[in-house]
Amino acid sequence: MKIIVTIKQVPEANKVAVNPKTGTLIREEVESILNPFCEYALDMAVNLKIQNPDLKVEIIVISMGPPQAKSALLRCLELGADKAYLFSDRAFAGSDVWATSLTLKEGILKKIGNFDLILAGKQAIDGDTAQVPAELAENLGIPHVYYGFDVEIVKKRINVKKETEKGYQVIEVRLPALVTISKGPSSIRRLPSMRDIIEARKKPIEIIDAKSLNMSEKRIGLNGSFTQVVKIFSPPIKEAGEIIDGNDSVNAAEKLFMFLKEKKIV
């Protein structure tokens, strides 16, 4: 059984800043990490492998990004993945969610072939669009479930516990399928042992360029993107509002009336 996990390398969230002149993220000297939700998806894949030894599960992680994203893939190998593919080429630069999903689709079909299940983080903490997994599933023509936090394999189907506002639903889906993973009530971030770290260096990471996928230049990068990020900016900091103590209702009402009168609302 093949389980594919899509992952993304992202900047450390608490260290991200925006250049006020250019409107772009300042990435220099900002540490990059494996997206936490992608790590939850990988952890789910590892658990499925442990729970189903008879299925001989192979876990393949894939990512699209610059060469330094290889470090995030190495982290995945340390955490239990068996092999990794990095789709990296300057021609992919500027890809929006649509172009990214198309590239991942072609990479899966041409480099991995048949698969049974794709797991992905519910969103990336840098862009928070949460669109790539759904578009990838649609491009592959497979069913998908969002916000899963538990997956059970039952023959050629899976049962997915899906988060809802009031609890959860259990959804039965035929394979192959895609499920995005949220943190869930019992998710913990796995820590690799020293042996895991050493063994990860022996596992393959294959770098795939645009030429290897034989995709038209019109379908990748900026040329294949329907949307472009024009500017990123931090919202202006608003002044703190005035708090009126409601213990003295008469005084509070008077203060509120004077405030509304001052603003010419009454």
Residues 6+ apart with CB under 8 A from 86: 62, 63, 64, 65, 67, 69, 70, 73, 205, 206, 207, 208
Task: Between 47 and 125, name the one with better pLDDT.
Answer: 47
- What is the residue-averaged pLDDT of the chain? 88
What is the spatial distance between Cα 266 and Cα 254, in angstroms, rounded to a whole number? 13
Given this model, what pLDDT does residue 116 score?
96
d(CA 152, CA 50): 12
Closest-CA residue to 62 (of 130, 7, 128) = 7
Mean pLDDT, residues 154-158 taken together: 93
**pLDDT (average), residues 176-204:** 84
- Is 246 a residue whose pLDDT tops 90? no
127 against 252, higher pLDDT: 252
Whether 45 shows a pLDDT value over 90: the answer reads: yes
With bands split at pLDDT 50, 70 and 90, how would you rate the model's confidence at 185?
A: low
Distance (Å, rounded) from C-alpha 256 to C-alpha 242? Answer: 10
Mean pLDDT calculated for residue range 104-114 = 95
Query: What's the pLDDT at 105?
Result: 96
Model confidence pLDDT, tens digit, residues 48-81 = 999 999 999 999 999 999 898 999 999 999 999 9
Residue 31 reports pLDDT greater than 70: yes
More confident residue, 260 or 24: 260
Q: Which of 141, 178, 190 is nearest to 5 (CA)?
A: 178
* Position with higher pLDDT, 54 vs 263: 54
Q: What pLDDT sits at residue 28?
A: 62
**Distance (Å, whole) CA 82 – CA 73:** 11
Domains and CATH numbers, the chain: 2-219 (3.40.50.620), 236-266 (no CATH)
Going by pLDDT thresholds of 50, 70 and 90, the confidence category of residue 248 is confident
pLDDT at 177 over 90: yes
